Amino acid sequence: MGNKTKHSAKKLEKKLRKLERELWTYEYLTKITQFDGATIAPENGAAARGEALAALSSAHHTLLTRDASRELIHDLKKAAAKGRISGQLADEARVLARDQREASAIPTAEEEAWTRLTCEADAVWHKAKLANDWASFEPYVDRIVETLKRHAGYLDSSKDPYDVLLDQYERGLTAKSFDAFCDQVRETVVPIVHAIVERGYQPNTSFFDARVPADLQKKISFDLIELMGIDRADTTLAFTEHPFSEGFSAGDARIATHIYEDNLISNVYSIIHEAGHAAYELGVDPAYSYTCLAGGTSMGIHESQSRFFENIVGRSRAFMGPLLGVLRRRVPAVFGSVSEDELYRAVNIAQPSLIRTEADELTYPLHIMIRYEIERLLFSGEATARDVPGLWADLTRRYLGIEVPDDTHGCLQDTHWSGGDFGYFPSYALGSAYDAQFLIAMVGDGIDVGAACAAGDLAPIRSWLEQKIWRWGRSKDAPELIELACGQPFDATPYCEYLAKKFGALYAL
Amino acid sequence: MGNKTKHSAKKLEKKLRKLERELWTYEYLTKITQFDGATIAPENGAAARGEALAALSSAHHTLLTRDASRELIHDLKKAAAKGRISGQLADEARVLARDQREASAIPTAEEEAWTRLTCEADAVWHKAKLANDWASFEPYVDRIVETLKRHAGYLDSSKDPYDVLLDQYERGLTAKSFDAFCDQVRETVVPIVHAIVERGYQPNTSFFDARVPADLQKKISFDLIELMGIDRADTTLAFTEHPFSEGFSAGDARIATHIYEDNLISNVYSIIHEAGHAAYELGVDPAYSYTCLAGGTSMGIHESQSRFFENIVGRSRAFMGPLLGVLRRRVPAVFGSVSEDELYRAVNIAQPSLIRTEADELTYPLHIMIRYEIERLLFSGEATARDVPGLWADLTRRYLGIEVPDDTHGCLQDTHWSGGDFGYFPSYALGSAYDAQFLIAMVGDGIDVGAACAAGDLAPIRSWLEQKIWRWGRSKDAPELIELACGQPFDATPYCEYLAKKFGALYAL
C-alpha cells in the first residue's frame, strides 16, 4: 500500500511537470512573438503574427482546461489533502488549479466574443484618442463593463464583480481596502501638491533639455543596467514605443525602451524602472523553471520592484553620486557642472500634470485614484460611459488642481479600458506603497540602503529583495509575501510618511 | 453522386488547409524563436530556447506524420488522381505528400540519435576550428557520413546515397550532372584565375579601408534596401554574427547583417545579397500564405535570387551610379573623389583566397568544388575523414594556386559538415549559374537590365523575377522553374561566358 501510494505520487508529479512544461512552452512562444512584434517586426507582419498568437492562446487554453488536465488537478488536490505531496509540488498544484479554474470560468463562445469586442474597442480607441472623440469610444466602454460584470459572475458569483476583477490583478485586494488606501494617501498627498503649487518654487531642470544622441543614450542605458546589478548575459536592450520588460526564462529577462534624443532623463528612469522588473524575473528560484511558479506573482508586486529601483534607489539623494558619475562620464559637456544636489532636486520635481505615464512620484497615486473612482462608479451603475469625461475633469480639478483641456489628454489617454483591463490601475499605486514598507523592513534587517546607493553597489539591497520577494516567484500571493518580508500586513502609513518627509524637505514645506 | 464527390473534395480541402495552417504555425514560431536567438536574445536564454525549439520540432513532426495526416494525404492523392482536385490544391497535396514522406523516412529513435550526434559535432567543431584541431573533429565526420548514408537509404534505397542528399537541397540534382557542371566551370575559371595572378595587376581598393561608424552603415543599409525595391513596412534590419535573411509571412521578410566599422563594403554586399533573399520570400503569391507552398522552393533558387541582386545587379557597371550616389551622400569624405569606374573595379576584385564566405564572384565556384569533391570521396568510400586536410590542400593548390596554412583556414572553416549538411554546398554554386541564364532570358523578354540598374529603379527586373520565379513559391521545383523562365533546361554555358567576358574585360586578359 505504501509503495503503491509512493508510486502514484511520483506518477502524478511526472504528469504535472509534463503539463507544466507544455504550458510553459506556449507561454514562452507567446512572449517571444509578442516581444518581436513590439520591438522589431515589420508593420506588414502583423496579420501573420495575429494568427500565430491566436493559435498559441487557443492551444494553451485547450491544454489547461481539457479533461485530462482537470483529472490531474483533481488527483493532485486529493493527494495534497492526504499529505502525499508537499513543498514545491503542492505549490505548483495549488497555483495551477487556480489558473485552470480561472481559464475555465468563461464559456468558450463568450471568450471569443470578448476577444472580438476588445480588438474592435482597441482599434476604435486608437482613432478616438487621436481625434479627441470620446463619443465614438463611449459605447465600447459600456459594453466592456457590462461584459466584465458577467465574466466576474462566472469567476465568483458570491462577490462584488469589481472585487473579482481587483483580485485578478492583486490577490486579496478589495474595493473596501483600496478605498481606505486612497483616503489615507489622498489626505497626505493632495495638501502637499497644493502647497507646492502655492509656494511657486520649482528646481532647475534645464540640463535635461540637452540633445543626447541615441548611440550615447544606449551606452548610458547599459551603464545603468550594470549599475542595477544585472548580468549582461541575462538581458538585452530593445527599442519600442512604450518601455516594458519581459521575463522569458531563468537567464533571460529583457528591457525594451524608447529613446528620445531630446529627453535623456525619460530613458534613464525607464531603464532603471524596467531593470527592476527584469531583476525580479531573474531572481525567481531556478527550481521553478518550466513550472507554473516561474515569473512574478502579481502586478502590484512587480510594480513594487520596478519602483523600488526607480524611486527608492534611483531617486534617492544617496544614488545621485553614481548616477551623476555615469552622466558626467558620458555627457561631460552637460553634466560636468551639475551638482548632486541639483540633480536630486531635478529628478524629484513634483507638479500637477495631465498624463499619468509622465507623472512624478508624488502626484502619481492621484492619477490612479481618478481612474479607480470612475471604474467604481461604472461598476456600481452610478455612472455610465457618457459621464466619464465630466467625472475626469471634476476629479482632476479636485486632486491635481488643474483643468483638462480635452479627452485626448484626459479620459482617452490610457489604453487599459479598450483592452478590458478594468481593476488593473490600483496595482500601479500599490507598488510604490509596498516599497515604503519594504524599505523599513530592509533597514530593520540591517541593510544600509543609503550606503549601498551611494557606493553604486546594490548587492545588499538586491540580496534582501531576492530572499524576501524574487525567489518565491508565483508560489506566494502578494499578502503572504508582504507579511513574510515585513512581519506584518500591508499598511499605507509608511508610504504616506515617506512622501510627506521626502517632498516636505525637497520643497521646504 | 456528383454532389457527394463535390462535398467530399470540399471536406478534404478544409482538412488540408487546417493541417497546413497548424504546420505553418509551428514553422513560423520556430523561425521567430531562431531569429530571436540569432539576433537579440541574451546568452543565458539559450537553454530555454533549446527546450522550446525541441518541443516545436517534435510537435511539427508528430502532426505531419500521424495517422490522420497520412490518411488525409492518401485521400488527397486519390482525389487528385481522379481529377477531383486540381490547381493550387493539387500542388499543396503533392508538396505536402513529399514533406510527409521525407519526414517519416527516418525512424524516430534514429532521428533523436542524429540530433544528439550533430549537436555534439557542432560543439566539437566550434572548438576544433579555434584550436586548428582537425583530429578532434575527424571521428564525427566519419560518423555523420555513415549515418547520412543510412538515412539516404531510408529515403530512397534505389539511388546512390549522395544523390539522395543532393536532391534534398536541389530537386533533380545528381552527382553526374554536378560533375559535368564542375568540369565546364573549372575549365573556364581556373585559367582566368591563373591569368589574373600572372598579370599581377589589382585595382585600388584603399577607399574601402576607411572607418565608417555603425550608425552611418545602418543608414546606408536602409538606403540599399530601398534601392532594392523592398517596402520598409515588409522588412526589418537586425544584427547578428553571420548575415542571413528569413521569410516569416506575406508581409514580413527580414534582413540580419553584421556591421564592421572598418569594412563598409562587406555590409554593403551582405545587405544587397540578403535583400535578394527577402525579395524572393516577399514575392511569393499571397494565395499560398499559411500553406505548404509558402516560401522559396530550394537552396539553389534562393541563392540565385540573392546573387542576382548581389552580382548581376549590384556588381554591374551600370549600377555603380546609384551605388556611388548612396556612398557619396552618406560618406562624402571618402567617396567624393572615387569614380564609377574605380568603384566598379574595386567591387569586382578577383583573387585566390582561403575563405569561401569572403571569396569573389569569379573564384567562388572553385571553393564549392573543393568541398564537393571531398564529399563525393567520403560518400564513395574512397576517402575517410583522416584524408580531408590533405585533399583540401591539394585541391586548393590545384584550383586556386595557393597554400592552406592550417585547417582553421581550410577544412574547418565551414559549419555545414558539423550540422550534417552534406550535399548542400553545390546549391551555392548553382545559384550564380542559374543567374546567367535568367539574365539572358530577361533580356530576351525585352527588359533593359542595364538601364534599370543605371536608373536605380529595379522595378522591371523585379517584375520579371516575380512573374517567373518568386510568385511560384514551392509549387514548382527548380528544374521546372528554370524551364518556365528560360524556355530551356539548365545549362552552365551562359554562366561560363558571363564570367569569361566580365573578368576578361576587367583584367584585360
Cell numbers found for residue B178: 554536378
Q: How far apart are CA B384 and CA B184, in angstroms?
A: 27
**What one-character DSSP code corresponds to residue B309?**
I
Contact B485, B465 (CB under 8 A): no
Contact B271, B313 (CB under 8 A): no
Q: 3-class secondary structure for A200-236?
A: CCCCCCHHHHCCCCHHHHHHHHHHHHHHCCCCHHHCC
A479-486 long-range contacts (CB < 8 A, ≥24 apart) are A479/A171, A479/A172, A481/A297, A481/A301, A482/A434, A482/A437, A485/A438, A485/A441, A486/A437, A486/A438, A486/A440, A486/A441
Question: Cβ contacts (< 8 Å) between B38 and chain A: which residues?
Answer: none
Among B30, B231, B252, B282, the residue to mutate for chain A (most A Cβ within 10 A): B252
Question: With an 8 Å Cβ cutoff, is A40 touching chain B?
Answer: yes
Q: How far apart are CA B257 and CA B278, in angstroms?
A: 13
Alpha-carbon B52 to chain mean position = 26
Contact A356, A109 (CB under 8 A): no
**Whether pLDDT at A3 is above 70:** no
Question: Contact B248/A47, CB-based, under 8 Å?
Answer: no
Restricting to B residues 250-309, those with a Cβ less than 8 Å away from any Cβ of A are 250-252, 254, 289-290
Question: Contact B48/A250, CB-based, under 8 Å?
Answer: yes
Question: Contact B25/A51, CB-based, under 8 Å?
Answer: yes
CA angle B219, B221, B224 (to 5 degrees): 115
Residue B105, Cβ density class (10 Å: 0-12 exposed, 13-18 middle, ≥19 buried): middle
pLDDT at residue A2, rounded to an integer: 46
Question: Contact B236/A42, CB-based, under 8 Å?
Answer: yes
Query: If you count them, how many residues does chain A have?
Result: 509
Catalytic hit among A246, A274, A303, A375? A274
Question: With an 8 Å Cβ cutoff, is B41 touching chain A?
Answer: yes
pLDDT digits (tens, 9 = 90+) for A221-235: 999 999 999 999 999
Each of the 509 residues of chain B gets a pLDDT tens digit; together they read: 444 555 588 999 999 999 999 999 999 999 999 999 999 999 999 999 999 999 999 999 999 999 999 999 999 999 999 999 999 999 999 999 999 999 999 888 888 899 889 989 998 999 999 999 999 999 999 999 999 999 999 999 999 999 999 999 999 999 999 999 999 999 999 999 999 999 999 999 999 999 999 999 999 999 999 999 999 999 999 999 889 999 999 999 999 999 999 999 999 999 999 999 999 999 999 999 999 999 999 999 999 999 999 999 999 999 999 999 999 999 999 999 999 999 999 999 999 999 999 999 999 999 999 999 999 999 999 999 999 999 999 999 999 999 999 999 999 999 999 999 999 999 999 999 999 999 999 999 999 999 999 999 999 999 999 999 999 999 999 999 999 999 999 999 999 999 999 999 999 99
Crossing angle of helices B46-65 and B67-81, in 10° steps, is 50
Question: With an 8 Å Cβ cutoff, is A509 touching chain B?
Answer: no
A257: β partners: A239
Question: With an 8 Å Cβ cutoff, is B26 touching chain A?
Answer: no
Beta strands B244-249; B252-257: pairing state: antiparallel
Kindly list the domain boundaries of chain A, sorted by start residue.
2-169
A252: β partners: A249
pLDDT at residue B2, rounded to an integer: 46
pLDDT at residue A6, rounded to an integer: 54
The number of beta carbons lying within 10 Å of the beta carbon of residue A263 is 16
Question: Contact B249/A45, CB-based, under 8 Å?
Answer: yes
Among A29, A232, A281, A282, the residue to mutate for chain B (most B Cβ within 10 A): A29
pLDDT at residue B109, rounded to an integer: 84
Q: What is the pTM of this model?
A: 0.94
Residues 6+ apart with CB under 8 A from A122: A415, A418, A419
Contact B290, A52 (CB under 8 A): no
Q: How far apart are CA B29 and CA B52, in angstroms?
A: 10
The number of beta carbons lying within 10 Å of the beta carbon of residue A285 is 17
Contact A186, A492 (CB under 8 A): no
A246: β partners: A254
A338-375: buried (b, 16+ CB within 10 Å) or exposed (e) per residue? bebebbbbbbbbbebebebeebbbbbbbbbbbbbbbbb
Nearest CA-CA distance, residue B165 and chain A, Å: 32
Measuring CA to CA, which residue among B408, B393, B375, B409 is closest to residue B141? Answer: B375
Question: Contact B251/A51, CB-based, under 8 Å?
Answer: no
Contact B167, B480 (CB under 8 A): no
| Distance set, CA B501 to CA A30, A340, A474 (Å) | 53, 70, 69
Q: How far apart are CA B165 and CA B151, in angstroms?
A: 9
Question: With an 8 Å Cβ cutoff, is A233 touching chain B?
Answer: yes
Report the percentage of chain A scoring pLDDT > 90. Answer: 95
Of A25, A32, A46, the CB nearest to B36: A32
Question: Cβ contacts (< 8 Å) between A44 and chain B: which residues?
Answer: 231, 233-234, 250-252
Q: Is B274 one of the catalytic residues?
A: yes
Question: Cβ contacts (< 8 Å) between A279 and chain B: which residues?
Answer: none
What is the average pLDDT across A193-213?
Answer: 95
Indicate the range of A69-78, A108-117, A394-403, B143-152 predicted with least confidence: A108-117
Question: Contact A231/B40, CB-based, under 8 Å?
Answer: no
CA angle B88, B472, B85 (to 5 degrees): 10
DSSP string covering B26-73: HHHHHHHHHHHHHHT--GGGHHHHHHHHHHHHHHHHHHHHSHHHHHHH
Contact A100, A16 (CB under 8 A): no
Q: What share of chain B is helix, strand, coil (3-state, %, to 5)?
A: 70, 5, 25
Measuring CA to CA, which residue among B33, B12, B15, B11 is closest to residue B23? Answer: B15
Torsion from C-alpha of A215, A218, A222, A228, nearest 10 degrees: 140
Question: With an 8 Å Cβ cutoff, is B56 touching chain A?
Answer: yes
Residues 6+ apart with CB under 8 A from B474: B95, B288, B292, B293, B294, B295, B296, B297
pLDDT at residue A1, rounded to an integer: 41
**What one-character DSSP code corresponds to residue B107?**
-
DSSP string covering B129-184: HHHT-HHHHHHHHHHHHHHHHHHHHHH-TTS-HHHHHHHHHSTT--HHHHHHHHHH
**Whether pLDDT at A307 is above 70:** yes
Measuring CA to CA, which residue among A307, A301, A348, A346 is closest to residue A504? Answer: A348
Of A47, A215, A238, the CB nearest to B40: A238
Chain B CA closest to residue A233: B43
Contact B220, B261 (CB under 8 A): no
Q: How far apart are CA B285 and CA B470, in angstroms?
A: 8
Nearest CA-CA distance, residue A63 and chain B, Å: 14
Alpha-carbon B73 to chain mean position = 29
Question: Contact B251/A42, CB-based, under 8 Å?
Answer: yes
Catalytic hit among B20, B92, B170, B274? B274
B33-61: buried (b, 16+ CB within 10 Å) or exposed (e) per residue? bbbbbbbbbbebbeebbebbbebbeebbb
Question: Contact B51/A25, CB-based, under 8 Å?
Answer: yes
Question: With an 8 Å Cβ cutoff, is A215 touching chain B?
Answer: yes
B252: β partners: B249
Cell numbers found for residue B24: 505553418
Q: Which amino acid is residue B472, in one-letter code?
A: W
pLDDT grade for A79, boundaries at 50, 70 and 90 = very high
Question: Cβ contacts (< 8 Å) between B57 and chain A: which residues?
Answer: none
Contact A445, A486 (CB under 8 A): no
Q: How far apart are CA B440 and CA B234, in angstroms?
A: 30
In a 3-state reduction of DSSP, which class is residue B253? strand
Scanning B421-477, the segments in alpha helix (DSSP H) are: 425-444, 449-455, 459-468
Q: How far apart are CA A460 and CA A439, in angstroms?
A: 12
Question: Cβ contacts (< 8 Å) between A35 and chain B: which residues?
Answer: 36
Cell numbers found for residue A362: 508624488
Q: How far apart are CA B235 and CA A501, in angstroms?
A: 52
Q: Rounded to 5 degrees, what are φ and ψ at B297? A: -85, -30
B239: β partners: B257
Cell numbers found for residue A58: 487557443
Nearest CA-CA distance, residue B43 and chain A, Å: 5
Question: With an 8 Å Cβ cutoff, is A42 touching chain B?
Answer: yes
pLDDT at residue B7, rounded to an integer: 57
Question: Contact A40/B238, CB-based, under 8 Å?
Answer: yes
Question: With an 8 Å Cβ cutoff, is B18 touching chain A?
Answer: no
Question: Contact A48/B231, CB-based, under 8 Å?
Answer: no
Question: Contact B45/A248, CB-based, under 8 Å?
Answer: yes
Question: With an 8 Å Cβ cutoff, is A232 touching chain B?
Answer: yes
pLDDT digits (tens, 9 = 90+) for A137-169: 999 999 999 999 999 999 999 999 999 999 999
pLDDT at residue B1, rounded to an integer: 41
Question: Cβ contacts (< 8 Å) between A240 and chain B: which residues?
Answer: none
Cell numbers found for residue B346: 574595386
Of B33, B44, B234, the CB nearest to A44: B234
Contact B107, B147 (CB under 8 A): no
Question: Cβ contacts (< 8 Å) between A39 and chain B: which residues?
Answer: 40
